[in-house]
A and B are shown apart, each in its own frame.
Chain A
Amino acid sequence: NAGVTQTPKFQVLKTGQSMTLQCAQDMNHNSMYWYRQDPGMGLRLIYYSASEGTTDKGEVPNGYNVSRLNKREFSLRLESAAPSQTSVYFCASNRAGYNEQFFGPGTRLTVL
């Protein structure tokens, strides 16, 4: 039981490049979330998916897109990376009706 896994662990991009951050969970959770963490800002929600086939915007969705590929996988795409998107990105999941969230180890992204 791996919990929540994220790939890659580290990534460096140039401004304007695109990439997809991958997240998968093996706990049969319905809901999945993408956060970014910046120094002094705590965690801010980018997008979330309450169930397979649905996605909703969080606090800071601009510049990002998401895909809930199936119940296990929830990906985050940066179409044209900007230096302001330099951050640590966390994926999380939880069961329907349970608020406790389980987090992945994070992806450290630097945009030059």
Chain B
Amino acid sequence: SQQGEEDPQALSIQEGENATMNCSYKTSINNLQWYRQNSGRGLVHLILIRSNEREKHSGRLRVTLDTSKKSSSLLITASRAADTASYFCASSDRGSTLGRLYFGRGTQLTVWP
């Protein structure tokens, strides 16, 4: 399987704290993406980082990519209760022109008010 792995599987924090989730993948990639899924809903794209980028920011989100270790991390700063959701990383294989993604198993984030 080419699925990635997220770590931790579950994370519980207080509002205002930072949340860090990690992702490892198995192949050479074009890019790596992070998605969010609220309970009972579909996935929503958060951010994409290309293989030649090392860090990217979007609002309270910060993503890093280390291609030598085949890993990425997602940092959510100043977490809010509304950030409670599952977060998935998804990798796009280098050489693939079909847009196919390989998803990890996800991190369940709970932010307590």
Contacts and interface: CB of A to CB of B under 8 A. Distances in A.
Nearest to A49: B98
Contacts of A101: 43, 45, 90, 99, 101
Interface in B54-113: 88, 90, 92, 98-106
A103 B105 contact: no
A109 interface: no
Interface string B33-68: 100000011111100100000000000000000000
Interface of A: 4, 31, 33, 35, 40-45, 48, 50, 56, 58-59, 90, 92, 94, 96, 98-106
B3 interface: yes
Interface of B: 1, 3, 30-31, 33, 40-45, 48, 88, 90, 92, 98-106
B103 A99 contact: no
Q: Is the interface of B mostly helix, strand, loop or mixed?
A: strand
Nearest to A96: B99
B31 A42 contact: no
B99 A98 contact: yes
Contact of B48 (A35, A50, A99, A104): A99
A6 B12 CA distance: 32
Contact of A48 (B31, B43, B98, B106): B98
